[in-house]
A and B are shown apart, each in its own frame.
Chain A
């Protein structure tokens, strides 16, 4: 569906994107990952023809960009915002028209989507009167109403409550079943891991890792100890035989140094905290991400809940 070859872009002598190549197929969720400033948004903007690349090619089904391909793309930008004073239905209709839909078809589709998200009653209200979650739903509708073949979602789950996250995930999965190509752009690795089929990890404008999620994880082998525990886990940061640790509130992922024995490690951990669950698994994407772009320091992630 989308093929990007050797894409380059720099701003005022700083290189934002340095020769990126990737392909997104239909029926696939493609994770475009990387820390802030890695070049994700710049890449997306070039795919969307908001920015003109300095070099490289972007093709849709083998065709270069044109006004016609423009209408086949849907976009949910990272920074949300629609016209605050605009009415819900009119806003959706406006953006649908901008994507080349006829007004009558747009009306039918808008009503279907609004009903799907439980927003039919809010059609006549101003956007600013809606809750943040509902505003995000409207924004999502704006991105997909014209039934695009390629959907680009930039941090779609940021700021969403768990209920809305599930609604969005279901909507994305449905798109996937309908053979749409989806680019899912995030720095939240756990989201990417659960949703993406394949991925590409950017750092400082370059691809540092790519492949299917399964393949990538396999390549790193089963050398990660995923534990859930109760107690003060701070001592885990200093354990020998661990080359990297990602610690959550009551869980941790420990990447073993080659040759370290998991059994010994578990015994020592058990001395400090009460282990509730332990698994030896492939590293999480988060851990791989940290290994590739982090600086080797222990990472403490203050989120609630466990790893999975």
Chain B
């Protein structure tokens, strides 16, 4: 032990500590985003800031989300090793520099570092080999869980069906909410009728009745469409015509809803969605021999995770998914 290589070096370095920028490593990144960052680096702009997510309009116009670690992997999303963005000092309107190595916010002295982030790919759920019986079991299990645990006030209307959890019951608070509920019901019924009929024009018209309908940042009508489109976009689905019509409506009407909701919907018609939804879809058909009650037990955890999306958004997306399962079963039976 000599005098000149002592712990004093360590102490001196400790004493030299000062406040520095937030250097936040990314945990995972959507594979589509990796490619886009390579092709189109530049400066974007912060669109909106929430406690657990920051949305940024990327240099190429795409809405990109920086999500807190505890959130799902999702399309155009980077999950970062942070639990809460509220204290990061990033504000709507701030410039954000995009490169293959980092998303940087000079105004807030914060950097999200991308090297080492796990690349996320949206899984596909092949439906071609799923039987009508399996679709029926899956629909029954998911329907039962939604009736019992779904959050009312969006697609699921009040009054609740018998046996629904009291805490989840919510009657329309006023004329506006009642008007929204009426519109959602009419749009959903029109859409289901049009899908059964295979009428692409009617599907498009019904989708337009739902697009942007609902009070939230992702309106309930959009969420319902999202669930249905997600199923329709999976390989082997018999809802291909519906998917095509929905894709056309979404593509033609970015001005009918919020940017966040439109982005989510556009991804859903391509079969891409949050990991929790894809995981639920995957589990729906993993336990093939079981009855609805048995399957429901397996689905409870992923359904709970999905129901945790937004206020009623999770319920509304699953309602769309459920409608898709029932329609998929009906269409197979009729063939």
A and B are partners in one complex rather than unrelated chains: no
Which residue numbers of A lie inside 8 Å of B, CB to CB? Answer: none
Which residue numbers of B lie inside 8 Å of A, CB to CB? Answer: none
